[in-house]
Structure 1
């Protein structure tokens, strides 16, 4: 935990590291397969990484304390779910995960807003927000499935809870990217509402925010080159 905290706090490429971790999760999850033990380790390690990132970039200690409280709530409710097999504990776990991701996204956005210069690492931060929002919506779809098993068609509920949740993550990302393979479809009104909101968010975020950040980065880079050119010409004139 301490090493992760130092990595995110002092590294000039903190968001690039986080982005690499989020991308690696996409490939590590299938490798863990049907092993509940490996899936649990991967699951809680993911939120431990997010906790380290939040602790490094969030200055508000209240938000950090709230994140830790939700992390503990998610851990305890998950353990109770596997012991008691009550969907209410699972719902608490998913809701806690949603809040943790929301705090992480908010913390990254606030941190990015405080920076005076756009860097390639901030662009990675913008992409991290996009990927985390995909996980946020996946938790929302999971809650829909918990309270109405027919909320999304094309899902076999005979699979393990982690297999179903991985399908929710898959469904969330293909929805946000507006791919829509048609293998999974929203059925209930709440699920359809979440799908519409996510589709709108995915398009607007990429078109407005990420494109704007990249445009500022390129403009800033060109401006730096012009300043360097002027300084070089000034030095040559002196000699």
Structure 2
């Protein structure tokens, strides 16, 4: 009797917690096609644009804020597509707005010569950008696990989540680089901003070209964590998709 009640109670608690953070009636639920398109656009922009090469500090800060804001919009769409409950969506949207405001303020302080906190440099992602970038792919993955049939949206969501993980680590690398006095990479040359996205993509796919490598223990831990997470993700979701396809065929 106890054994039967235990799992039932646990399941009820789990459903209660899930209903608090996720809402399957959200109008934007499973809009993974749009999310994938915006995610790819963000990856391309982060991979091609070198913000650090802009000599004018004002122009560099403005361009960085615009680029981060576009990525922030992508992350908010990720929350909506994942079916995050209204409260969670509002928090995510508030974080994006707050990150935008703090980036503008830090840019103004930099122009006035009063910016001292390196963690809030206008040409680097603020801690708020980093936080929402880390949370978003896990929210999308949570929704994908709930799928019981494989559709085009399922595949689009799976690819989007994979690329969102790469964006999250790119932001983590940029943030660690902003916090430390030395360069994030061991290579003794000027590092372009796009190389952080390049390094993240190379790491998550475990290509390992070796042209860039972290220069501190934190960077090394992040890089190895991304490589492991990327491989676990691929193995897990390939198995899930194959299993669902076999189930659909048998039905």
TM-score scaled by length of structure 2: 0.71
1:145 match:
177
> 1:82 maps to which residue?
107
Moved over 6 A (4+): none
Q: Distance in 2 between matches of 1:93 and 1:58?
A: 26
- Structure with the larger RCO, 1 or 2 (CA within 8 Å, 6+ apart): 2
Relative distance call for 1:70 and 1:125 in structure 2 (3 A) is: same
Q: Is the 2:150–2:245 contact (alpha carbons within 8 Å) kept by the matching residues of 1? A: no
Deviation at 1:206, TM superposition (A): 1.0
Matched, 1:17 2:54: no
- How far is 1:93 from its partner? 4.1
Task: Please state how far the C-alpha of 1:156 moved relative to its aligned partner.
Answer: 4.9
C-alpha displacement of 1:221: 4.0
1:23: how far off? 1.9
Gaps of 5+ in 1: 1-7, 225-239
Residue pair 2:65, 2:104 contacting (<8 A) in 1 also = no
Q: Aligned runs of 1:33-72 on 2, under 5 Å? A: 36=60, 37=62, 40-72=65-97
**Cα contact 1:176–1:199 (8 A) shared by 2:** yes
Task: Give RMSD over aligned pairs.
Answer: 2.9
Unpaired runs of at least 5, structure 2: 1-25
Q: Quick one: structure 1 residues 27 and 152, their matched pair in 2 at CA, closer, same or farther if it must change by over 3 Å?
A: same
Aligned length: 210
Task: Give the match's secondary structure for 2:140.
Answer: helix
- Contact kept? 1:80, 1:89, Cα under 8 Å: no
Instruction: Tell me if structure 2 keeps the 8 A contact 1:73–1:93.
Output: no
Once the two structures are superposed, residues 198-230 of structure 1 have per-residue CA deviations (whole angstroms, 9 ceiling, x without a partner) of 1111111112x2211321243134225xxxxxx
Q: Secondary structure at the match of 1:181?
A: coil
**1:111 match: secondary structure:** helix
Structure 1 residues 143 and 32: CA distance shift in structure 2, 3 A: closer
What is the match of residue 231 of structure 1? none
